[in-house]
Structures are given as C-alpha cells and as structure tokens.
Amino acid sequence: MRPKSIHLVVVKVGSAVLAPTGTLEEEAVRRIADDLAEAVRSAGASGIAGVPGVRALRIVLVSSGAIASGFMALGLKAPPAQIVLKQAAAAVGQSRLMRAWADAFGAHGLNVAQVLLTGDDLDHRRRHLNARGTLQALLERGVVPIVNENDSVSFDEIKLGDNDRLSALVSGLVGADRLIMLSSAGGLADGGDPRRVIPVVEHVAEARRHVTGERSAVGTGGMATKLDAVETAAAAGVPTVVAPGREVRVVTRLLSGESIGTSFPVRVRRVEARKRWIGFAARSRGSISVDEGAARAIEQRGASLLPSGITGVDGDFAEGSVVDLRVQVSPSCEPFARGRVAYSADEIRAIAGKKAGQIGGVLGYVYRDEVIHRDDLVLLNNGRAGDDGVRAAKAGGAA
C-alpha cells in the first residue's frame, strides 16, 4: 500500500536510461510513462479544491535526454564536447524528447508541460518563486510537468551542470515528499560490485567510499553527482531513492513500499524555504571574510553579520546578492556560511571594520545595521562546527 504521506514525487530519469546508445528509445519512454500513470491511477482522485484532474499523487518528471536524443541528427557519432554543438543537439533533441513524452502520457489521458530552467531561474529569488508558481499551477490542474535544463541556451555561468542537481533543487522548490532517481545503476553498489546494492544509507559521507566517479557515455553525471543531489534534497527535507531505471514498474513498486535500489532517508526537519534558496538554489556571487569572533557568533549563537566583523570582500556584487562567508577570502578556505547581503560589494568594503552606528557617516545613508541579517544566513554542511546537513542560523543574539 502506498504510504499516505507521499502526495508529491519528483522522478528523475537519466540519459543512460532513455538513450543508452545515443538514440532516444521510445520503448523506454513508454515504459516509464506507463509506470508513472499506473502510480497516479493507484493513488486515485483527490478532488482537491474541486479542480478536475487533480489527483492524490502528483508527479514532476525531470527528464534528461535532449542532447543524447539530438546529437546524431547533427551527423555526430558521439555526444559533443563543444558547447555550441551541445546547444544545437539539445535544440534538436528537446522537441523529440517532449513529443515522445506527450504521446506516451497521452495514451493514459495525462497532459504534459515542458518546463525548461537555467541556473539563473533558481538563483534569482523572483524567478525562483515564478518557477515554483508555474509548477504548482500545473500540478493543481493534473498536468505532469516535464523539467529539463535549458541546454540550448545555457552556458557555464548559468548552467546547473547536471539533472541530478536539478532534480534535487526542483524537489525542494515544490516541497516534494520524495525524490526518485532512475539510473542505469541499480543503486549504490557495495564495494563497487553492482550485484550487491546497499538498500539503505543513513549518512552520505559513508556512501562516498563506494563511489568510483564513473559515468555513462551519454550522461553528465554518475553516482558521485547523485550523492551530491541526495545531500541537497536532504537539506530540503526530501528523502531520495536511487533505483534501476530499466526495471518494469519500478516507481509503482517503490511507492507501494517495496525496497528497490538504495534509499537515503532524512532525519532532520525541512529548512525554511527562503534559507533553502539561499543555501542551495542560489549561486554565490562573491565572498566576505570575517574575523574569528564574528564566525563564532554566527555559528554558535545564530548572530547576524555586522560590518565590525568584516575583514575583506572578494567579488563585485549588488545589494541582495547571495555570497559566501569565510574566515579569510581565499579559494582554499571553505565557506562556512552563505547569506544575502543588504549592501553592495563596494559599500561593504567602505564600511568593513566599522561599527553599525558609523554606517550613515561613511555611506551617507543606512539600509540596515546588519550587512547580513540572521534570517538571511545559512550555515553550510562543511561549516567548522561539523554538523550534518544545513544548519539554519538560529534566532537569538547579534554580532
């Protein structure tokens, strides 16, 4: 029986599942669509808000395969490495991919919608909210959103990098109850032996010793990127399952309680949506170095960052940007926190080391006393205190 707590699922399908030889396998598309349609039918109609078509189980599909579906049409024998050819292959392949999904889901009376995202769409707070609103509107009307990175226009500065990460960010974006990643692998292999799949992994750090870093010929990720995505999803309170995508009815069976692949449960509560965006969806635009006293106050007391604790600024960013916090500005120094600044980089350089009461005298105006308010601060999982996951800055005290 499907667990009652699961009402919204994000399913990610990799290129190695849909196009293992470089050509889109429509049989694979149909098999997965049949599976997802069965899972939706099994859940039954919910009648939410009286909107026709709304069901008790809603699914967002994150589908790879655009580049893998299109590169052969360009006369290429292998997935291209050159960015322009990748974009051209995606432009050709995306329409083919969507047509296959529309036909496969249409056979079950389900409508689909194409949602293409770039890194900027999830970095930008307003675009982030717009994307969430669009996905929610589609789900409320019984439509299956099919999400992919907009590879035909993305470039390095705005690329998310792989659909593993995209699926984790989308899971947090829509507040999914579970992320299911369908892979060419059957799950996390014990000691690299694919015949021995580890059924449950409590801590991702322990899982990394089983990873070799290999990836498929037509994909952009591997198990290492999936573990990164698991951590991102977990920080948003979303448990993940990595399961064999070539098996029949794998999603229906998983949602019925069958143990398949590797499950990554979540033991911590969800991070509040704004901090989730700051910590994981937003792209850092620079760095601020702080002294030890400010770092301890932020980590231990959940304090805000005042100008007096700032020792340096790296980058050129605007007010409202998300930046990393380090004890020193250096690429070798891992950030311990991330936050949204109330002042631009040049303004912060001018007031660095000053008391809050001096801001007006230096700048001629005061937006607020805090450079980063504690409500806009998130401690990262590689923070110096070493807690698992993201530790949202707690209220109480000010630096």
Pairing of strands 337-340, 377-379: antiparallel
CATH classification at residue 311: 2.30.130.10
Backbone angles phi, psi at 27, to 5 degrees: -65, -40
Same domain, 361 and 255: no
Give domain status of residue 399, yes or no. Answer: no
- CB neighbour list of residue 336: distance below 8 Å, 6 or more residues apart: 295, 298, 299, 325, 326, 327, 379, 380, 382, 383, 384
Stated pTM of the model: 0.73
Q: For residue 138, what are the CA distances in angstroms to 53, 55, 59, 118?
A: 11, 12, 10, 19
Domain boundary among the residues 274, 304, 338 is at 274
Same domain, 209 and 65: yes
Domain boundary among the residues 274, 292, 318 is at 274
Give domain status of residue 371, yes or no. Answer: yes
CATH classification at residue 25: 3.40.1160.10
Contact 86, 76 (CB under 8 A): no
Domain ranges, residue 115:
8-274
Same domain, 290 and 212: no
- The parts of the chain modelled with pLDDT lower than 50 are 1-2, 46-53, 155-160, 215-220, 383, 385-399
Give domain status of residue 398, yes or no. Answer: no
The count of structural domains within the chain is 2
* The pLDDT of residue 153: 57
* The pLDDT of residue 42: 87
Give domain status of residue 279, yes or no. Answer: no
Give domain status of residue 2, yes or no. Answer: no
User: Residue 348 is which amino acid?
Assistant: I
- The residue ranges of DSSP E strands in 229-301, in sequence order, are 240-244, 262-264, 287-290
Same domain, 270 and 295: no
Distance CA 263, CA 156 (A): 32
SS3 174: helix
CA 150 to chain centre: 15
Contact 249, 35 (CB under 8 A): yes
* The pLDDT of residue 395: 31
* The pLDDT of residue 114: 96
Same domain, 79 and 191: yes
Give domain status of residue 255, yes or no. Answer: yes
Same domain, 377 and 247: no
* The pLDDT of residue 220: 47
Same domain, 73 and 146: yes
* The pLDDT of residue 218: 46
* The pLDDT of residue 118: 77
Distance CA 200, CA 242 (A): 10
Distance CA 197, CA 100 (A): 31
Total Cβ atoms within 10 A of residue 86? 21
Give domain status of residue 76, yes or no. Answer: yes
Same domain, 165 and 297: no
Domain boundary among the residues 255, 274, 293 is at 274
Give domain status of residue 370, yes or no. Answer: yes
Q: What is the pLDDT of residues 167-224, one digit of tens each?
A: 998 998 898 999 999 998 888 888 667 778 899 998 887 788 777 655 444 444 578 8
Q: What is the pLDDT of residues 111-168, one digit of tens each?
A: 999 999 876 677 666 777 788 889 999 998 999 999 998 755 554 443 445 789 899 9
* The pLDDT of residue 393: 37
Same domain, 259 and 293: no
Question: In this structure, which long-range contacts are made by residues 78-86, counting pairs with CB atoms below 8 Å and at least 24 apart in sequence?
Answer: 78/22, 78/217, 79/22, 79/217, 79/218, 83/155, 83/156, 86/151
Same domain, 60 and 173: yes
Same domain, 116 and 142: yes
Same domain, 294 and 266: no
